[in-house]
Homo-oligomer: A and B are copies of this chain.
């Protein structure tokens, strides 16, 4: 049905919920049927995800992570400025906010010539991301024009791409991340439509070199969405804010990502999830994962309870929030949370 139907549904719901409209306001029993307290309901994944793709679209993240994995000379590969680099992720292990995450086991990169480490990951990390949910898909063999790409995006969610850095570092050459990622990816419970985000559009970052025609947008726009990550250690009441970032730090926009994804004819299906990649900004307080925030564990963070973190510990809860600040109102994404459980013996 596409965007016109979404707009109509949104307008209808907004009208029903407004103070001027009597339908729900003056009918207590209908109101009781239609509205449930959030504390009483269990949120589930909002869509069936056919395929999940994760991009790598923040230049700051790519530079920082690349320096740690490959050194400063090869930090950002040359292709990065010509195309939105991405990889296929694991759809089966995408879970809804609030789902516990079991610390994965695996092989970690050996030191020198010793055999690889095997056991629970020693470098458990989060990645602050947002993700586009595909609305109408495209047929196999029929690319989507970059200037039409927004019509294929139903809306956005917050996403935590949990990452085991020791597993990832050992396995990712030459075919990319696999078990260092596939043990779990958490998304926030409702999808905020692009229509709801329209008041928060902003210019996207300038791109140099100029993108190829299939990636050149008439309107190269992004959204001003404030992002925050907290860590709440087991037994603590007070979460510690560890990063504050913004979707507008992305170099490649979500519409460029979608157009690139389909330029070879690859078909998207409704419900597909397109992660932005870790959203790091230029400042030390705006880095989107512990790998960057602690320089791969070399520079621990201090939480408000005084404890230190190189990477996540068992019992830590990671809480991500996203918010657009309008005049007199906010648009929120709910929280994207998950707690680390100890590895299975």
Contact = CB atoms under 8 A, between A and B. Distances in A.
Given A105-B143, A212-B116, A264-B167, A92 B51 contact: yes
Main secondary structure on chain A at its contact with chain B?
Answer: loop
A173 B85 CA distance: 9
Nearest to A272: B92
Contacts of A70: 174
B89 A88 contact: yes
Residue of A174, A176, A263 ringed by the most chain B CB atoms within 10 A: A174
Nearest to A170: B79
B264 A182 contact: yes
Given A115-B209, A184-B140, A51 B175 contact: no
B105 A263 contact: yes
A83 interface: yes
Interface in A51-102: 51, 56, 66, 69-70, 77, 79, 82-83, 85-93, 95, 102
28 contacts: A50-B91, A50-B92, A51-B90, A51-B91, A51-B92, A70-B174, A79-B116, A79-B173, A83-B171, A85-B175, A87-B175, A88-B178, A91-B91, A93-B265, A105-B263, A105-B264, A106-B263, A115-B209, A116-B212, A141-B183, A164-B264, A172-B174, A175-B177, A176-B177, A179-B263, A179-B264, A184-B265, A265-B344
Each complex incorporates copies of this chain amounting to: 2
A269 interface: yes
B266 A183 contact: yes
Interface string A283-324: 000000000000000000000000000000000000000000
B170 A88 contact: no
A142 interface: yes
A102 B265 contact: yes
B140 A87 contact: no
Interface of A: 50-51, 56, 66, 69-70, 77, 79, 82-83, 85-93, 95, 102, 104-107, 115-116, 118, 137, 140-143, 164, 167, 170-180, 182-184, 209, 212-214, 260-261, 263-269, 272, 344
